[in-house]
Chains A and B, each alone.
Chain A
Amino acid sequence: MKLVVLVKHVPDEAADRLFTAGVFAADLTVDRDGLSCRLSEPDEYAVEQAMRIARRRMDVQICVVTMGPAGAVRTLARALALGADEAVHVLDDALHGSDAQATSRVLAAAVERLGFDLVLCGTASTDSGMSVVPAMVAERLGVPAACEADTVWVGEDEVMVRRDEGTAVVDVAVGMPAVVSVTDRIGEPRYPAFRSIVEARQKTLRTWSLKDLRIPAAEVGLGASATVVRSVTPCAEQRPALLVEGEARGAAARLAAYLTEHQLI
């Protein structure tokens, strides 16, 4: 069984003070060269999920795919250390500034070229995420999409996901091949073991260009983008204040409960 995990190289919010000067390049795309970047956290959950599926079956091959600038090899290296078997980097200068439509086209082409039974990815990337890429990739591949999965079971030829929608818990079964996006409720990723970090260096990492995927350069990138970013305005971070009202005794109890719940005391 072939699992393809789509991963994205995103700015590390913990490492840099985001949304200050220097995050955006002159063309208003995120300047990933100037920032320290990492494997997007939701995608890390997808890699972990692929590993869990692999542990239950003998025949699983996991390939991670990213589309991104040269620095994205670090994200692939991380996914390989987490346990993926091989990696594909779609790298092409013409891809700079691609919107969700172009991204999904490129990713779908790469997945198609690899061959797949199941595509896994995070629900959205932690930078400018729209949560549309998983569904778009599925549409382009002509396979069903089961998005925002909190649990995944993989059978012989179908995959079942459970999604908590707040008011209802929904079970969805789709035939394979399929695309599944996972939430952070699905199971925390492990830290890579020392040996798998070392082994990751021996694994295959292939680089494909747009030509390899037979996609004309003019149809992707900033120029072909259906959406245009006109301006970016940083907004002052403002945490909503908590106002505890009412009679003193009750208010104190509610405040204490709030602080306990948020593990502040």
Chain B
Amino acid sequence: MLRDTVRALAEAKIAPFAAEVDEQGRFPQEALDALTAADLHAVHIPEQYGGAGADALATVIVIEEVARVCASSSLIPAVNKLGSLPLVLSASEDLKKQYLSPVARGEAMFSYCLSEPEAGSDAASMKTRAVRDGDDYVLNGVKRWITNAGVSDYYTVMAVTDPEKRSKGISAFVVEKSDEGVSFGAPEKKLGIKGSPTREVYLDNVRIPASRMIGDEGTGFATAMATLDHTRVTIAAQALGIAQGALDYAKGYVQERKQFGKAIADFQGIQFMLADMAMKLEAARALTYQAAAKSERGDNDLTFFGAAAKCYASDVAMEVTIDAIQLLGGYGYTRDYPVERMMRDAKITQIYEGTNQVQRIVMARNLPK
């Protein structure tokens, strides 16, 4: 029922704008409006903060179905979870109430600021500083590649509070767009997910009350990593959705396209490709749903499974979308058909929330017992 509902909504209210959003590189406002109206913009927020209280699997299904028609739009529910999960996991009750409720009501979105120009895969080498000054902290630095920057009202920012201690000297804070000293860079010009704004966030002497620290001082990096364990599952969901969209499109196309006097779907060479695509996709889905169950239960092997689901599903999404283009032949290579967009969108899932090389490092360090 949830999948049917989100699929119907996505097809009616989001799909019609997907190509335009990509072409023009504009924010998918229609998608935000439609998702908010149906309470699907941040389904993971617990009920006690006015949220829908969806479990990890339900959240995956929502993201999957939105990504099936428009990957850029799927970053609305996905990044709302990424930005706000540090609070759900580690923040004080007051901070949760203050910041989760507006997100649940659809009045604000949340972004996640970990990466920096010089600190990507090696996020712990970040330079952004937060210095205590009386009851406040003063933040200075630059965060790069921040999804939904400028659109979101709230930002979870990881910053160094004690440079001596490296990753144990990093703390997490909530920064508001309206805080003095917060500004944004020009939108990045990207290969895919062009409808999802990615910008730098500049922090120039941003003064915030100490109560906006998420958890204790020095726990920020641990919180950031714990968050990724859960949200990598949502990136896997996004990859599944993109791949499913491409497979569904190709499946329909091969029935219609005739060569050598029959539908190309009648050729075994085509059928085998579709079989392989569907097989890989279902294997990725099984792994993703298993990881979602672990995320919900908080199992201690989640780190491995989250990384494995993200890495495998995103690799599958890349293969499936490329094959979908192949099945459409020359038409697949043009912007008149959606599969080339899906391929461009799929690529990002192998990069963000840790590149797939980094996922393999994470998996290797946390091999199943």
**Residue B206 is within 8 A (CB to CB) of chain A in the complex:** no
The complex places the Cα of A51 from the Cα of B82 at a distance, in Å, of 35
Return chain B residues, CB-CB under 8 Å to A191.
5, 8-9, 34, 37-38
Question: Are the C-beta atoms of B37 and A190 separated by less than 8 Å?
Answer: yes
Q: Are B40 and A194 in contact (CB under 8 A)?
A: yes
How far is A197 from B1 in the complex, measured between Cα atoms in Å? 7
Residues in chain B near residue A200, CB distance under 8 A: 1
Is B102 located at the chain interface by the 8 A CB criterion? no
**Is there a chain B Cβ closer than 8 Å to A81's Cβ?**
yes
B2 at interface by CB-CB < 8 Å: yes
B38 contacts A192, CB within 8 Å? yes
Across the A-B interface, give the 3 residue pairs with the lowest CB-CB distance, nearest first: A193-B39, A194-B52, A191-B38
Give the distance to chain B from A18, nearest Cβ to Cβ, in Å: 16
* Contact assessment for B1 and A193 in the assembled complex, using a CB-CB cutoff below 8 Å: no
Residue in B37, B39, B43 whose Cβ sees the most chain A Cβ within 10 Å: B39
Min CB–CB distance A116 → chain B (angstroms)? 27
Q: In angstroms, how far is the closest chain B Cβ from the Cβ of A89?
A: 16
Q: What 0/1 readout, one digit per residue, does chain B (48-71) give for beta carbons within 8 Å of chain A?
A: 000011100010001000000000
A36's closest neighbor in chain B, by CB?
A: B4
> Which chain A residues lie closer than 8 Å to B38 at the CB level?
190-194
Chain B residue at minimum C-beta to C-beta distance from A200: B1
Give the shortest distance, in Å, between B42 (CB) and chain A (any CB). 10
With a CB–CB cut-off of 8 A, which chain B residues contact A194? 2, 38-40, 43, 52, 54, 58, 62
B53 → chain A, closest Cβ, in Å?
7
**Alpha-carbon separation in the docked complex, A81 to B54 (Å):** 15
> Which residues of B19-52 have CB atoms within 8 Å of chain A's CB atoms?
34, 37-40, 43, 52
Asked if A197 contacts B53 (CB within 8 A), the reply is no
Q: Which residue of A lies closest to B39 (CB)?
A: A193
- 18 A-B pairs in the complex with CB atoms less than 8 angstroms apart: A74-B1, A77-B1, A78-B1, A190-B37, A190-B38, A191-B5, A191-B34, A191-B38, A192-B5, A193-B39, A194-B38, A194-B40, A194-B54, A195-B39, A195-B53, A197-B5, A198-B53, A198-B54
**In the assembled complex, which residues on chain A have CB atoms less than 8 Å from the CB atom of B1?**
74, 77-78, 81, 197, 200
Docked Cα-Cα span, A195 to B62, in Å, equals 13
Most central of A190, A191, A195, A197 by chain B CB within 10 Å: A191
Chain A residues contacting B43 (CB-CB under 8 Å) are: 194
What's the interface size class on A, roughly? Answer: 10 to 19
Taking CB atoms and an 8 Å cut-off, the chain A residues in 78-129 that contact chain B are: 78, 81
Shortest beta-carbon distance, A74 to chain B, in Å? 8
Chain A residues whose CB sits within 8 angstroms of the CB of B37 once the complex forms: 190-191
Closest CB in chain A relative to B301 CB, distance in Å: 28
Q: In the docked arrangement, what's the CA distance between A69 and B5, Å?
A: 22
CA distance A197 to B6 in the complex (A): 11
Q: Contacts of B39 on A, CB cut-off 8 Å? A: 193-195
* Closest beta carbon of chain A to B167's beta carbon, Å: 36
A218, B43: Cα distance in complex, Å? 50
Q: Which residues of B contact A192 (CB under 8 A)?
A: 5, 38
Q: Which one of A74, A190, A192, A194 has the greatest number of beta carbons of chain B within 10 Å?
A: A194
CA distance A59 to B219 in the complex (A): 52
Shortest beta-carbon distance, B73 to chain A, in Å? 15
B2 cross-chain contacts in A, Cβ below 8 A: 194, 197
For A81, the chain B residues whose CB sits under 8 A away are: 1, 5
A258 to B302, CA, bound (A): 57
* Per-position binary interface string of chain B over residues 1-21, scored 1 when its CB falls under 8 Å from any chain A CB and 0 otherwise: 110110011000000000000
List the A residue with the shortest CB-CB distance to B52: A194
CB within 8 Å of A: which B232-272 residues? none
Chain A residues within an 8 Å CB radius of B58? 194
Complex Cα distance, B54 from A190, in Å, reads 20
- B residues less than 8 Å from A78 (CB atoms): 1, 4
Give the one of B1, B8, B43 with max A CB within 10 A: B1
Cα distance A81–B53 in the bound complex, in angstroms = 16
Other A-B contacts than A192-B38, A194-B58, A197-B2, 10 sampled, CB-CB below 8 A, are A77-B1, A78-B4, A190-B37, A191-B34, A191-B37, A191-B38, A194-B2, A195-B52, A198-B53, A198-B54
Contact with B along A173-207 (1 / 0, CB 8 A): 00000000000000000111111011010000000
Within 8 A of B (CB), among A191-242: 191-195, 197-198, 200
Chain B residues within an 8 Å CB radius of A74: 1
Inter-chain CA distance A241–B52, complex, in Å, is 49
A191 to B53: give the CA distance in the assembly, Å. Answer: 18
Please indicate the chain A residues that have their CB under 8 angstroms from the CB of B34 in the complex.
191
- CB neighbours (8 Å) of B54 from chain A are 194, 198
For B2, the closest partner residue in chain A by CB is A197
Q: How far is the CB of A211 from chain B (nearest CB, A)?
A: 30
* Inter-chain contacts of B62 with A (CB < 8 A): 194
Which residues of B have CB within 8 Å of A190? Answer: 37-38
CA distance A190 to B43 in the complex (A): 18
Closest to A77 in B: B1
- Identity of the chain A residue whose Cβ is nearest the Cβ of B41 in the assembled complex: A194
* Nearest A residue (CB) for B11: A14
| Alpha-carbon gap, A242 to B201, bound state (A) | 56
CA A107 – CA B39 in complex, angstroms? 34
